Amino acid sequence: MTTTTAEPPTDSLAPAGRTAAGRVLAVLGAFDYQHRLLSLSEIARRGELTLPTAHRLVAELVSFGALERGHDGRYGVGLRLLELSALAPRGLQLREIAFPFLSHLHRTTGGNVHLGVRDGSEVVYVDTMRSRLRHPITSRVGDRWPLHATGTGLVLLAHAGQDVQDEVLSAPLERFTPKTVVDPGELRRILTQIRRTGVAVAHGQITLPNTVVAVPVLAISGEVTAAISVVVESERARPRELEIALREVSRAISRSLKAANGVHTG
C-alpha cells in the first residue's frame, strides 16, 4: 500500500509508519494512572504527535465522548469509554455477573476481593473490592500484574497453555518481596500443585503481611475464564475456610455465566 500525496498534510508530520488509527490510539495511550489529566501539549508530547494533529484528534475524541475537557482545560478519559468498556465480554460484563457473589464474599471474609482475567502474560483486574483502610494495596479495576506474583495470576498461569507458561517462566520474574517466588523450577511445581488442588494459596508475595487464596472460574466451555481471590492479613488468615467460600462463589458465577449464555468468555 503506497501512501501518496493524497494523505492529509498532518500525517506527514507524524512519526514515520504511524497509521491514522495508530495516532488516535496514541492520544488515548497518552493517559495512564500518573497522567489522568493532560493538557493538549502534554497529549501531543506523550503521544509523539504534532500539536495540530493532537488538536484535531482530541477534538474528534471529545466529540465522540472518548475524552472530556475539565474545568481547568485539561483532558481526561470520557464516559463514552466507560460505556464501551461495559460491553467488554471479559470486562465489566463479567464483573456485572460476578458482582453479587463477590460482594457477598467481600462482606463475609472482610478481605480484599479480586476478579482477574489473563491478558498475555499479565492478569488484569476486572473488579476489586477493597476493605476500608486495611491492606494498603492499590489494586484497582484495570490494573495489571505479572501472573507469577498474584493469586489470581498464579491460577490463570496454571491453567494457561504450555506456550504461555514457557514464555512467562523463561522471562525474568519480578520480585516484589523477599517471599515472591522467582525461581522457574519452584514456580513450575507450584503451578502443578494449583492444577492438582484447584486452589492457589500464597503468603507475602506482593505485600509481606498478606495471604491470598485464589480459585479459577470456569466458562460454559469448562475452560478457566477468570480467577477470583481474597487477600487477608496472614495472621488472621484461615486459608481452608477462604478456599471453601471461594469455591462456592466460583460455582455460583459459573452458573450465572451459563444462565447469561451468549456471553463470550473465551
* 3-state secondary structure at position 173: coil
Closer by beta carbon to a copy of itself, 124 or else 257: 124
Closer by beta carbon to a copy of itself, 89 or else 184: 89
Footprint of a copy of itself on 145-164 (CB under 8 A): none
Closer by beta carbon to a copy of itself, 96 or else 167: 96
Closer by beta carbon to a copy of itself, 147 or else 202: 147
Footprint of a copy of itself on 1-60 (CB under 8 A): 1-2, 4, 6-9, 11-12, 19-25, 28-29, 31-33, 36-37, 56-57, 60
Question: Hey, what's the cell of 100?
Answer: 453479587
Number of residues that bind a copy of itself (CB under 8 A): 74
Footprint of a copy of itself on 72-131 (CB under 8 A): 72, 74, 76-79, 81-93, 95-96, 99-100, 103, 106-107, 117, 119, 124, 126, 129-131
- Candidates 68, 167, 233, 248; binder of a copy of itself (CB under 8 A) is 68
**Strand residues in the chain grouped as ranges (E):** 67-69, 75-77, 112-119, 122-129, 144-146, 200-203, 210-218, 224-233
- Closest CA relative to residue 231, chosen from 143, 106, 88: 106
Interface with a copy of itself, residue 144, by CB under 8 A: yes
Yes or no: say if 121 and 167 are a contact pair by the CB < 8 Å rule: yes
Footprint of a copy of itself on 170-229 (CB under 8 A): none
Q: In angstroms, what is the minimal distance from the CB of 101 to a copy of itself?
A: 9
Residue spans of alpha helices (H) in 129-266: 151-158, 162-170, 184-197, 239-259
Q: In angstroms, what is the minimal distance from the CB of 144 to a copy of itself?
A: 7
Angle, vertex CA 234, rays to CA 230 and CA 238, nearest 5: 65
Yes or no: say if 200 and 209 are a contact pair by the CB < 8 Å rule: no
* 3-state secondary structure at position 32: strand
Q: In angstroms, what is the minimal distance from the CB of 237 to a copy of itself?
A: 21
* 105 vs 101: CA distance, rounded Å: 6
Closer by beta carbon to a copy of itself, 147 or else 199: 147
